Amino acid sequence: METVKIYTYTIIRVATEEFSDKVPYCTGIVEFPSGKREAALIHGYEDGMNVNIGQEVYFLGQLENGLLRVSFTK
C-alpha cells in the first residue's frame, strides 16, 4: 500500500461548522514520494496519539469527488 509522509500537521479542536462534530481530528500537509505536497485530513486520529513530522501514513486513494483519502491505519 502506498504511503506518504507527514510534512506538517495540527490537531483541530475548534472547527468550522461542517467539521464541528469530528473534533479532535488531524489535518495537515502530506508529501508523496515524488515530492509533491497536498493538504489532507489524516483519518484515524485518537486523542493523545503521538504524531510526528516525517511519519509515514497510508494513502488510500481518491474519493469520487476527488478528495484524497489519507489515514493512520490501513
With cell 486523542, the residue in question is 47
Report 26-65 residues binding another protein (CB under 8 A): 27-29, 37-41, 53-54
Q: Is 7 among the residues that bind another protein (CB under 8 A)?
A: yes
Query: Measured from the CB of residue 66, what is the shortest distance to another protein in angstroms?
Result: 8
Beta bridge partners of 29: 8, 39
**Residues 1, 2, 13, 50: which binds another protein (CB under 8 A)?**
13
Strands (E) across the chain are located at: 3-12, 25-31, 37-43, 56-62, 68-71
> Binding residues for another protein, how many (CB under 8 A)?
28
